[in-house]
Amino acid sequence: MIEFKVCKNKEDTLQGNKYFAKLSKISDDCLKELGMVHENGINEGFEFKGNFNEIPTVGSSFYILDSEKLELFATSIVTDIIDSETFKTMNSTYSIKYLQKLEKSFG
């Protein structure tokens, strides 16, 4: 399992590795309190499978790319790393399941 940590700069990440994972929204923290749902349809239960190079990092958005569909998903700013499979953003809580470590990435 990959351990998350609070990253202060790019050098602290697992730079150079590429992963395939499933990202799941487990809670809509911000809107749930108001009894609302996201206008973009990305609500609790939303799942996205794709590749990423950098693990979730406090202070940055998390990006994951579905290279088959050429779709990119980005979270709002990550605010907290709960454990090795869970992180919070400004609006939501996500879980990430690592499905496969891929070849070295470029860049």
d(CA 29, CA 2): 25
> In the prediction, which pLDDT does 79 show?
95
The pLDDT tens digits of the residues spanning 50-95 come to 888 788 999 999 999 887 888 899 999 999 999 888 999 988 999 9
Q: DSSP letter at 10?
A: G
User: How far from 85 is each of 64, 88, 93, 96, CA to CA, in Å?
Assistant: 15, 11, 11, 5
The pLDDT tens digits of the residues spanning 10-31 come to 343 444 457 788 999 998 877 6
How many other CB atoms are found less than 10 A from the CB of residue 94?
22
Q: pTM of the predicted model, to two decimals?
A: 0.73
d(CA 1, CA 92): 23
